[in-house]
Amino acid sequence: MSVPNEENLSHSQLSTHFFLDLLDSIIVDVASECHRVARLGLDSNLEEEDEELKLSAQARVRAADPSNTNEANGKYVVDIFGQTHPAVANEIFECMNCGRSIMAGRFAPHLEKCMGKGRKARLKVTRSSTAAQNRYSRGSPVSTYSNYSTNCMNRLANGSSIFAGDEHSNGTLES
Amino acid sequence: MSSKINGQISPQPCPHLAEFRRNSTKPFLALHSCLRIKPPGGRAALRRDPHEVPRCAACGLSAPSRLLACVTCAAISCHSAAASHAAAHAASMSPGHQIAVDVDRAELFCCACRDQVYDRDFDAAVVIAQTAASTVGESPAPQPENLRKKRRVDYRPWAPDLRERTLIGTCSGPIYGAGTGADPLPGFPRGLRGLNNLGNTCFMNSVLQALLHTPPLRNYFLSDRHNRFFCQKRNNGDGDGGGGAGKRNGGNGGNRNGRICLACDMDAMFSAVFSGDRAPYSPAKFLYSWWQHAANLASYEQQDAHEFFISMLDGIHEKVDKGRVKPHSEGKGDCCIAHKVFSGILRSDVTCMACGFTSTTYDPCIDISLDLEPNQGGSTKMATATSNHSCNGEADCMNPSQNCGTSTLMGCLKRFTRAERLGSDQKFFCRQCQVRQETLKQMSIRKLPLVSCFHIKRFEHSSTRKMSRKVDRYLQFPFSLDMSPYLSSTILRSRFGNRIFPFDGDEPDATDELCSELELFAVVTHSGKLDAGHYVTYLRLSNQWYKCDDAWVTQVDENIVRAAQCYMMFYVQKMLYYKATDKQAPS
């Protein structure tokens, strides 16, 4: 480190001097890096990103406006083709497992019993074959949680994350 | 001002640098041996002797803003905005002493222009020294196999020859004629059709809608690349329920329609959805096939849409006869249409904090799952004047002027590709140090897939606390997305100080920046609670947005989409390129 010319500086003045030298050095570090990024044209397109953020903010304001909630609530009168649809789909077709005529909106629960699947008959959970054996993957296998017994439930498995992102605590494998 | 070589901007040299280069046979050669690289970051400095403390020859100071070593005579002078012995040196010596190098930063400086200047060869020397330091004793990581450079070829439009035209005429019918019987409602985009909810199947419908409008996938099936009639005939001819990828037939009398093939069911769905009939379609056969493929997910319950997405792509992949085709884990991505469309390659670098040795691996991926940023401390790009918040001192919120209000997709991607210090409980064994060391890990995208699916981890499950929760926080996402800051070439380049040098992933083509520009075409959103929610998909067709809520298809303003709570976003590359193929063209 360089020592300033005056000999009789106090400790605090000396340390301030050294601190300012260090600070100068750090500032030039940043300036030098930014200069390089700018001169080589490596900075990303900030204006476009700004524009998207602005549009997004405006959109949210409009969406929060109570006069615009028709779409959001899902209260439909007609679709774009002029059709209406009942709450439970009423197309009738033949079950490909047993051959019976089933109404579309009730097909899934029928098929579940028909195929012998479902919560009670569920097979042993296996590791999802899609999870590539990635060295950094701590992704959980597909997990099921039998302690949730409500009818409509979103499957919660922490995705078959194929590769490492940050890790979450993973569900346990249930047998 | 600058020219592009190797996809990298090379700025025009100042006249002094240009002259210096003209006059020296091997400029900067002497500097090679003076480059010292400091682990783990790889910061480059110049020292003749490793323990040298450089001082200004004129005034003896060793800590002004910059210490510059003349490239011609190695004299060290100080330089700051206020006083510059370096400028004096350049002026007083005969011409040829204007170019100097900042010894602490390994940056070239023109003392006459008083500005930092850039040179390819100098940067190349620095990068070589840095690379050597981080891979001592080992050759650099081998390139992932399927990225052997293939020559880019020009698009040649195809037109049917006479024989093909006859075939088309006799064996196909138009998708629809506007206003004719098949589709009495002209003016709506093709393939827009509702999907009936078969009983808590909105998770499936939402993903199917996105896939039905995924351009490369749509083109594949509508071009008859997987003909379900041929496929079933061939499979049944092999003997029903035979080996290969044959799936369980779900017990009870089995499948009466031949072998399960999700691709065949997709083909049927594409045909139906693009037929011009606008009454909602019931994907019952698809559900049936999928439940046989993914037996553990087969139950009448709401499922996770992302899980379904992964599972069904896997189902399409597995359908391919295993004997003929290499499995996806080799990263080839040529195995099936699902991987051709969605498969990308991720690069993971693990750097030893002690010695800088970096270990690199490549892994294929079908999508990218992103964590929402923690707390309210989201990070966005701009330092806005309106932001008064200070960040909570979170380690990943470095810039105090960032707006901490909104989470953004780009923020999540930035977080995904940031260099992360792994905890001391996760030490890796460093081959160079021969002990376990703390490491720095950084992910980047080595190869961008044709279609990128971003999945936001909104459902958190904690096995310890035996509870789950949904994160409802809004995430901003752009309609146009440039992925270049997250590509391996960019990440690597910035790790090496943004030097001018072709990095892993650089395409030798000036127009490659278009490859990383993506356009949004589908958004799957989730609303409601964890255990009682609903999935809806928004589709962008001809820059018009449509909401697909099971059977209900309605047109919406783009603001509705922007304000929605995204769960999965589908982006497609704006520009697709053709690469030379090894295959012979069919005669």
Annotate B120-186 with DSSP letters as a single string. Answer: HHHHHHHHHHHHHHHSTTSPPPPPPGGGS---EE--------HHHHHHHHHH---S--TTSSS--ST
> Which has the closest alpha carbon to B135: B421, B431, B497?
B431
Q: B250 touching A, CB under 8 A?
A: yes
AA letter at A130 = T
User: Six-digit token pair at B523?
Assistant: 């958004």
User: Six-digit token pair at A66?
Assistant: 């109570």
AA letter at A150 = T
- d(Cα B247, Cα B314) in Å, to the nearest integer? 13
Beta strands B344-352 and B439-447, pairing class? antiparallel
CA-based nearest residue in chain B for residue A132: B329
Which of B148-157, B431-440, B520-529 is modeled with the greatest confidence?
B520-529
Most B CBs within 10 A among A19, A79, A143, A168, hence the mutation to make, goes to A79
pLDDT for residue A132: 41
Greater pLDDT, A74 or B120: B120
- d(Cα B8, Cα B2) in Å, to the nearest integer? 10
- d(Cα B328, Cα B414) in Å, to the nearest integer? 27
B270-296 confidence digits (pLDDT tens): 999 998 889 999 999 999 999 888 877
- d(Cα B227, Cα B232) in Å, to the nearest integer? 9
Beta strands B407-408 and B475-476, pairing class? parallel
pLDDT at B73 over 90: no
pLDDT for residue B151: 66
pLDDT band at B579 (very low <50, low <70, confident <90, very high): low
Helices B262-273 and B202-212 pack at an angle, to 10 degrees, of 70
Q: What mean pLDDT is predicted for residues B27-37?
A: 82
Long-range contacts of B26-29 (CB under 8 A, 24+ apart): B27/B71, B27/B119, B27/B121, B27/B122, B28/B71, B28/B119, B28/B121, B28/B122, B28/B125
Listing DSSP states for B81-95 in one string gives SS-BHHHHHHHHSPS
B92-106 confidence digits (pLDDT tens): 887 788 889 999 999
> Which has the closest alpha carbon to B408: B474, B482, B454?
B474
pLDDT at B247 over 50: no
Work out the mean pLDDT of chain B and round it to a whole number. 80
pLDDT for residue B257: 47
- d(Cα B449, Cα A112) in Å, to the nearest integer? 36
pLDDT at B587 over 60: no
B378-420 confidence digits (pLDDT tens): 444 333 333 333 333 333 333 333 444 678 999 999 999 999 9
- d(Cα A117, Cα A123) in Å, to the nearest integer? 8
B345-365 confidence digits (pLDDT tens): 999 999 888 888 888 999 999
Q: What DSSP designation does B453 have?
A: E
Beta strands B107-110 and B76-79, pairing class? unpaired
Verify whether the Cβ–Cβ distance B296 to A144 is below 8 Å: yes
Q: What mean pLDDT is predicted for residues B39-57?
A: 82
pLDDT at B243 over 80: no
Give pLDDT < 50 ranges for chain A: 1, 120-175
pLDDT for residue B391: 35
- How far CA B156 is from CA of B150, B159, B372, B577, in Å, comes to 17, 9, 43, 11
pLDDT for residue B461: 74
> Which has the closest alpha carbon to A171: B98, B235, B307?
B307
- d(Cα A124, Cα B397) in Å, to the nearest integer? 43
Q: What mean pLDDT is predicted for residues B299-314?
A: 86
Beta strands B368-371 and B451-457, pairing class? parallel
AA letter at B466 = K
List the catalytic residue out of B34, B70, B110, B202: B202
- d(Cα B535, Cα B353) in Å, to the nearest integer? 44
pLDDT band at B241 (very low <50, low <70, confident <90, very high): very low
Q: Is B534 a catalytic residue?
A: yes
Q: B408 touching A, CB under 8 A?
A: yes
Nearest-Cα distance to chain A for B23, in Å, is 25
Q: Is B261 a catalytic residue?
A: no
Question: What is the sign, positive or negative, of the torsion defined by CA atoms of B433, B434, B438, B442?
Answer: positive
User: For B296, which of A24, A71, A142 is closest by C-beta distance?
Assistant: A142
Q: Give percent above pLDDT 70 in chain B.
A: 76
Nearest-Cα distance to chain B for A98, in Å, is 8
- d(Cα B98, Cα B91) in Å, to the nearest integer? 8
User: For B464, which of A147, A150, A169 is closest by C-beta distance?
Assistant: A169
Q: What pTM was estimated for this model as a whole?
A: 0.79
Q: If residue B558 lies in a helix (H) or strand (E), which one and from where to where?
A: helix B558-563
Length of chain B in terms of residues written: 587
Count of CB atoms within 10 A of residue B523's CB? 27
B499-512 confidence digits (pLDDT tens): 888 777 665 554 45
pLDDT for residue B361: 93
User: Six-digit token pair at B391?
Assistant: 């960040």
Greater pLDDT, B152 or B317: B317
Q: What mean pLDDT is predicted for residues B132-148?
A: 62
pLDDT for residue A137: 38
pLDDT band at B467 (very low <50, low <70, confident <90, very high): confident
List the 53-112 stretch of B: residues with Cβ below 8 A of A.
60-66, 80, 102, 104-105, 107
Q: B428 touching A, CB under 8 A?
A: no
List the 204-233 stretch of B: residues with Cβ below 8 A of A.
none
pLDDT for residue B144: 63
Verify whether the Cβ–Cβ distance A155 to B302 is below 8 Å: yes
pLDDT band at B84 (very low <50, low <70, confident <90, very high): confident
In this prediction, does ipTM exceed 0.95? Answer: no
B331: left (phi over 0), alpha (psi -120 to 50) or beta: left
- How far CA A18 is from CA of A27, B66, B444, B494, in Å, comes to 14, 15, 39, 30
Verify whether the Cβ–Cβ distance B301 to A152 is below 8 Å: yes
Most A CBs within 10 A among B363, B413, B469, hence the mutation to make, goes to B363
- d(Cα B409, Cα B568) in Å, to the nearest integer? 11
Verify whether the Cβ–Cβ distance B459 to A118 is below 8 Å: no
pLDDT for residue B515: 79
Residues of A in contact with B68 (CB under 8 A): none
Q: What DSSP designation does B486 have?
A: G
Residues of A in contact with B282 (CB under 8 A): 89, 91, 93, 104, 107
Q: What mean pLDDT is predicted for residues B52-71?
A: 82
- Region of poorest pLDDT, from B13-17, B425-429, B468-472, B579-583: B579-583
Q: Where are the beta strands (DSSP E) in chain A?
A: 92-94, 101-103
B198-234 confidence digits (pLDDT tens): 999 999 999 999 999 999 999 999 988 999 998 888 8
pLDDT for residue B580: 63
pLDDT for residue B357: 86
Q: Give percent above pLDDT 90 in chain B.
A: 35
CA-based nearest residue in chain A for residue B276: A81
